[in-house]
Structure 1
Amino acid sequence: MESGNITGVSEFLLLGFSEETEVQLLIFGLFLSMYLITVLGNLLIILAFTSDSHLHSPMYFFLANLSFTDICVTSTTIPKMLVNIQTERKVITFAGCFTQMYFFQLFAGLDIFLLTVMAYDRFVAICHPLHYTVIMNPQLCGLLVLMSWILSILHALLETLMVLRLSFCTEVEIPHFFCELNQMIQLACSDTFLNNVVMYFAVMFLAGGPFLGILYSYSKIVSSILGISSAQGKYKAFSTCTSHLSVVSLFYCTSLGVYFSSTATQSSHASAVASVMYTVVTPMLNPFIYSLRNKDIKEALMRFSEVAALKGPVVLGLKKCP
C-alpha cells in the first residue's frame, strides 16, 4: 500500500459493525434509542440539580458535571455514525476525524477525573463528616472541576498533536464506528513508537492514577464504616456512596473488559463491539443508577415533574384569555 504525506489524506472510512442492510437498520434503531435515552436521562439529572435547591451540594454538583460529560461523550461519536448509516456513506473528513478523536479523548478523560473527584467527596463526607462543609467548600469544588477540565484538555491536545505528526496511507479504513486513538495509531504508515510510549504513559498516569485514588478513598470509607457500632449507621453511611461505587465499577469493568478482549482476540471488529459498553452503554445507565438508588434525586425529579405539570394548565389558561 502506498504511503504518503499526511496532507495527501483528505478523508477516512469508518467501517462500523456490518455492511448488511438489515443489520445496518437494526444498528441505527438501537443506537438512536440508546443515544436519546442517554441525552434525556442525563438532562433530567442536570435539570433536577439546577431547579432544586435541596441538591445544591458538592456531591450533586459533581454529578451534574458527570451527566453533562456523559452527554458529550456519546455526542462525539453516535450522531456521526447515525448520519453515515442514514446516508449510506462511511466517509469522515480528515478534519472531522481528528476533531472527533480530540473531543472523545477530552470527555473520556474528564469522565475519569470526575469519578475520582466524586470518590474524594464521599471520602470526606464519611471519614470527616464534621469538617465536610469546611473542606468541600464551593471554591474547592469549582477548582477540582476546573483542574479536571484543564488536565483533560491538555491530554487530548497532546494525543491529537502526536497523531497529527504521523503519515498515513493514501486509502485509510478505520475498523471502528468512530476515530479511536489506538486505531488511528495502528493505521499510520510512519514510525509510531513515540505515540505508543505517550499513549501508554497517559493510560498509566491519567487512568491508573485516578483508579488508585478511588481505591484508596473507598478503602478508607470501608474502614470507617466498619468502625460504626450500629447497623443502621453502617447502612446509612454506605448508602450515600453505593450509586457512585456502582458507576465506577461499571465504567472500569467495561473499560478493562474492552482492553483485555481486544488484546486476546486481536480483532478490531471485536474491539469496536466491546467499546460500545463504555462509550454508549455506561453513559446511558448512569442516570438510572443514580435515580433508582438515590432518594434525593427521585424526590427532586418528582418535584420538578409536579411543577412542570402545574405550569402547563396555567400557560394554557393564559393563552385562552382574550
Structure 2
Amino acid sequence: MSVNSASAMNTTIIRPDVFYINGFYNVPHSMYYYIFLGFVYIVTVLGNSAVMCTIYVARSLHTAKYVAVFNLAFSDLCGSSALIPKIIDTFLFNNQYISYGACLANMFFVYLFMTLQSLTLVALAYDRVIAICFPLRYHVILTKTAMAINIGVVWIFSVSIVALTVALVTRVSFCSSITVTSYFCDHAPVYLLSCNGHYWNTVMAYICFYGLIGTPVIIIAISYVCIGTALLKISKWTERIKAMKTCVSHLILVAVFYLPILSTNVASMISSINPNDRIINSTLSQTIPPLLNPIIYTLKTEEFKQAIKVLCRRLKVVVMHELPQSSGQLLDPQQSVGWSKEELLALRHNSSPFSTLEFIQDPSTITEILTTGALALLGLARKRWRVRHRGRRAGALVRLRRRGFRTSLPSLFLSNLCSLHNKTEELLLLNQTNKDFSNASTLCFTETWVSDLNPDRALRVPGFRLYRADRDSDLSSKSRGGGICFYINERWSKDNTVLLTSCSPNLESIFIKCRPFYFPREISSFTLAGVYISRDAQKELADLIRKVERENRDTLLIILGDFNQANLTKELPKYRLHVSCATREENILDHCYTTIKDAYRSVACGSRTLRS
C-alpha cells in the first residue's frame, strides 16, 4: 500500500497498489461467455473499420450527417477496444489484479467513449430534425463545418466531464477491501470501496447518469416530436413514409444503445439486482450496440449501400486491371484461343467444378492478389485528396450543374420578351447552344404579344412544354401587348396542371401546379405564378395568392413576372424578393418572390435571367 499525504487538506489519502476485479461469482462455464465477447470484438472492429473506410473513400458520403456517423463508428471501435480486450485478458487469462493507475485509465476511456456514443446520437437526431423540418435550408444550416464544430464540442465536453469524474476518485481513501464487484474498473463499485466520505463522487455519478444518459434521451424524444409534427403537415401518406424511412436507422441505434443501459440502471435503483445479472446486462449493453451499428447502417441506409456498391465496382475494375498473369492459368481476353473437339471433351471429363479457380492454389498468388486489392483501395483513398478541381471545373455553379434536375428548388429563367413569335428562332438557338438555358427547369416570359392566331406548334421549344395566358382584349380593355407563358422542362416535371388564369386591366396571371420527379419531402408540389402587373393591382394579386395558398396548403409558391414598380412585400410581407440585379437599364422591374430566405440569387445574362 502507498500512502500519500495531502498537507493542504490536513488529511491522509490511502491508495492501494492494485485492485482485484471480481467478475462473475460462482458461474460455471463463464469462459465461453468471454470467448463469445472475443468474437463480438472481432466483428465490431471489422464492421466499424469498414464503415469508416467507406465514408472516407466514398465522395458521395462526404456530408454533414456522415461526419457524425464517422465519429459514432470511431467511438464504437475505441469503446470496444477499451473494454473487451481487457475483459478477455482479466478473466480468460486470470489476470484479475490491475494496478491503481491502470484501473483509473480503464475507467476513463470506457466512460469517455460511452459518453461520445450517447452525445453523437443527439447530433444525429439534430441532423434528422433539420433535414425533415427545414429541408430547403438543410444544406445552409447544417454544413460539414457546422457538424464538425458540433462533434468537436461533444469531444471537449465528454473529456472534461469524464476527467472530472475520474479525478474525484483520486480524492478518496481505500482502507480495507480492494475487490471491485464488476467486470472492469467501474466507477460506482470502485468509489464505494472508500473508507472516507464519497459525497462528491455520488453527486458526479448522478450527474453523469442524468446528464449524459437521461438528458440525451429526452432531447432525442423532443426532436422526434418535432419530426412527427412536421410529418403530420404533409398531406400525402406516401411522402410521410418516405420521410420517416430516413429516421429508421437512427431510431434503431437509439433503441439499441439506450434501452439496455436505462433498464439496467433503473432496475438497480428500484431494487437490488444480482451482481451476475448486472454484469451480463452491462457487458451486453456496452458491446452489442457497437457490433450492430455498422450492420444497421449497411442494411437500412440506401445511400450507404449505394456507396458500397460503387466502391466494390471500382475496386473490382482496379484489381482485374492489375491482376498478375500466372503461367497459363489466366488468359488475356484479347488472345485468340483454339480448342479441338477431343480437347474439350477431355476437359469436360477430367476437370472438377472448381478447375477454373486453380490459379489461386498457389499461396504466393493469393497473397499477391490480396495485396494488389488492398493497395488499390488505398490508392482510391489517396486519389480523393489529390483531385482538386480548379477554374472552370470548380465552384458552386459547377456543383449545381452536376446535380442536374435533383436540386431542391427549380432553376428559373425569367425574361421580358416583347414578342415571343419574333424570338422563337433565338430561343431554339439558345436551347441548342446554352446549357443554362436548356437545363433550366422553367422558362418564364412576359410581354409575349401572342394571340389565338399563333398556335402552340409555332412556338414550340424541344424538350419543354408550353403553358400560356394570352391577353384578352375584352377583359383587359387593351388591344395589343401583354401575355405570359411558361416553358416547363420535361426532364424536370411532366405532371403539370393550370390552376387558374386571370386577365384584367391591371393584372394578368397564370398559376401552374407542378409535381416534379424530384422535390423536397416537406412539400407536395411547386406552384409557379407568372404575373404581368401594374402598380395599382397589388391587392388584387395578393387576393389571388391567398386563394391558391388556401386551396393548396402543401405547395411552395414561386411568383415570377413583370411587376412595373409594384412590390408584393407591401401586401404579403412573408414573401421575399430575390432579384437584386438591374433587369431593364438601372431598374429592377422583373421580380421573383418566395417565402424562403435566400432561396435564389439573380444573375444578369444579357436577357433577364434567374438561377437557383
- TM-score over 0.5 for the alignment? yes
Give the % identical residues: 29
What pairs with 1:243-322 in structure 2 (closer than 5 Å)? 243-263=249-269, 264-317=271-324
Q: What is the RMSD of the two structures over their aligned residues, measured on CA atoms?
A: 2.2
- Separation in 2 of the partners of 1:57 and 1:176? 40
**Residue in 2 aligned with 1:76?**
82
Structure 1 residue ranges, 4+ long, deviating more than 6 angstroms after superposition: none
Q: Which has the higher contact order (CA 8 A, sep 6+)?
A: 1
1:177 counterpart letter in structure 2: Y
Q: Comparing 311-320 with 107-116, which one deviates more in the overlay? A: 311-320
1:240 aligns with 2:246: yes
Deviations 1:97-129 (A, max 9, x none): 100111112111111111101101100000000
1:166 aligned onto 2:172: yes
Instruction: Name the SS of the counterpart of 1:229 in structure 2.
Output: coil
In structure 1, stretches of 5+ residues that fail to align are none
1:211 aligned onto 2:211: no
Q: Aligned equivalents of 1:316 and 1:107: distance in 2?
A: 41
Normalized per residue, the structure richer in helix is 1
Deviation at 1:130, TM superposition (A): 0.7
Contact 1:261 1:270 in 2 (8 A): no
User: What is the Cα deviation at residue 61 of structure 1?
Assistant: 1.4
Deviates more, 1:181-190 or 1:149-158: 181-190
Is the deviation greater in 267-276 or in 36-45?
267-276
Which residue of the partner structure matches residue 127 of structure 2? Answer: 121
TM-superposition CA deviations, 1:165-193 (whole Å, max 9, x none): 11113541112111111211222222112
Looking at structure 2, the residues matched to 35 and 17 of structure 1 have their Cα atoms a distance apart, in angstroms, of 20
CA spacing shift, 1:310–1:83, aligned 2, 3 Å:
farther
* Match of residue 103 from structure 1: 109
Deviations 1:243-263 (A, max 9, x none): 001111221111111112333
Structure 2 counterpart of 1:60: 66
- Is the CA contact 2:25–2:276 (under 8 Å) kept in the aligned structure 1? no
User: After the TM superposition, which residues 18-97 of structure 1 pair with which residues of structure 2 at under 5 Å, given as runs?
Assistant: 22-24=29-31, 26-97=32-103
Tell me how far 1:21 sits from its aligned partner. Answer: 7.4
Partner Cα separation in structure 2 for residue 144 and residue 37 of structure 1:
29
Query: What one-letter code is carried by the residue in structure 2 that aligns with 1:132?
Result: Y
More deviation, 265-274/64-73: 265-274
8 A Cα contact 1:12 1:174, kept in partner: yes
User: Offset at 1:44?
Assistant: 1.3
**C-alpha separation in 2, matches of 1:304 and 1:168:** 55
Q: Which one of the candidate residues 132, 135, 138 is aligned to 2:138? A: 132
In structure 1, distance between residues paired with 2:299 and 2:220: 23
3-state SS of paired residue (1:317): coil
Could you tell me which amino acid in structure 1 is paired with residue 285 of structure 2?
A: Y
- What does the per-residue CA deviation read over 1:240-285, in whole Å, with 9 as the maximum and x for residues that have no partner? 1110011112211111111123332333332211102321011111
Q: Which amino acid is 1:158 matched to? A: L
Q: How many Å separate the matches in 1 of 2:139 and 2:281?
A: 41
1:13 is aligned, of 15, 20, 25, to: 20
| CA 306–28 in structure 1, closer or farther in 2 if over 3 Å, else same | farther
Asked if structure 2 preserves the Cα contact closer than 8 Å seen for 1:17 and 1:272, the reply is: yes
Aligned partner of residue 185 in structure 2, secondary structure: coil
Deviation at 1:7, TM superposition (A): 4.9
Number of residue pairs aligned between Structure 1 and Structure 2 = 317
Q: What's the TM-score once normalised by structure 1's chain length?
A: 0.91
The answer to whether the 8 Å contact 1:71/1:283 transfers is yes
What 5-or-longer segments of structure 2 have no aligned partner? Answer: 5-11, 326-367, 370-612
Q: In structure 1, what is the Cα distance between the partners aligned to 2:251 and 2:13?
A: 44
Give CA-to-partner distance per residue, 1:116-151, whole Å, 9 cap, x none. Answer: 011011000000001101100222111100000011
Q: Deviations along 1:34-65, whole A, 9 cap, x unmatched? A: 01111111111111111111111111111111
Matched residues in 1 for 2:231 and 2:110: separation?
A: 37
- Counterpart of 1:187 in 2: which secondary structure? coil
- Report the Cα distance in structure 1 between the residues aligned to 2:225 and 2:256, rounded to whole angstroms: 18
| Higher radius of gyration, 1 or 2 | 2
Residue identity in the other structure for 2:186: E
The 8 Å contact of residues 39 and 71 in structure 1, kept in 2 or not, is answered as yes
More strand by share: 2
Query: What is the alpha-carbon distance in structure 2 between the residues aligned to residue 55 and residue 8 of structure 1?
Result: 49
Is residue 176 of structure 1 aligned with residue 182 of structure 2? yes
Mapped contact 2:23–2:91 kept (Cα < 8 A):
no
